[in-house]
Amino acid sequence: MIQYALKCAEGHQFDSWFQSAAAFEKLQAAGHLACGVCGTNAVEKSLMAPRVASKSKSAPEPEQAPAPTAPTDFEKAVAALKEHVEKNSDYVGKDFVRQARDMHLGDAPERPIWGEAKPDEAKKLIEDGINVAPLPFVPTRKSN
């Protein structure tokens, strides 16, 4: 696995993992890479600082927590999407597939919902003409 810092034509920066350098090149050539913020397929590698292991036999320096960084455009977009979804729709959890199907069939009133579905269940919904899409975040867990 290899991690690349990527940048789209609009200037949005993000990281992604690839099986190999060749896998990145193949996906890029086929137009299968896209910016998570604006959706453009014009994605290229960005400059990265190399991670080089030291061969020094001296005592290792104690690890320090990385300095906090400002959220990226992608992180801001995901946070805004999460806030919008949680505010304007009902979280139905593992009952998502049943409720989405009931609304599609007219057995339940339509309303915006979101929840959890296994990949094969989501694929079946799509095959049946029910519009669903994966969300790039996990639900906020509420404790007692």
Q: For the chain (length 144 residues), average pLDDT per consecutive 10?
A: 86 86 88 82 80 62 66 87 93 95 96 93 94 84 53
Domain that residue 28 falls in: 2-45
pTM score, whole prediction: 0.52
Asked if residue 53 is part of any domain, the answer here is no
Asked if residue 117 is part of any domain, the answer here is yes
Asked if residue 137 is part of any domain, the answer here is no
For the chain, the three-class secondary structure string (H helix, E strand, C coil) is: CEEEEEEECCCCEEEEEECCHHHHHHHHHCCCCCCCCCCCCCEEECCCCCCCCCCCCCCCCCCCCCCCCCCCHHHHHHHHHHHHHHHHCEEEECCHHHHHHHHHHCCCCCCCEEECCCHHHHHHHHHCCCCCCCCCCCCCCCCC
Asked if residue 140 is part of any domain, the answer here is no
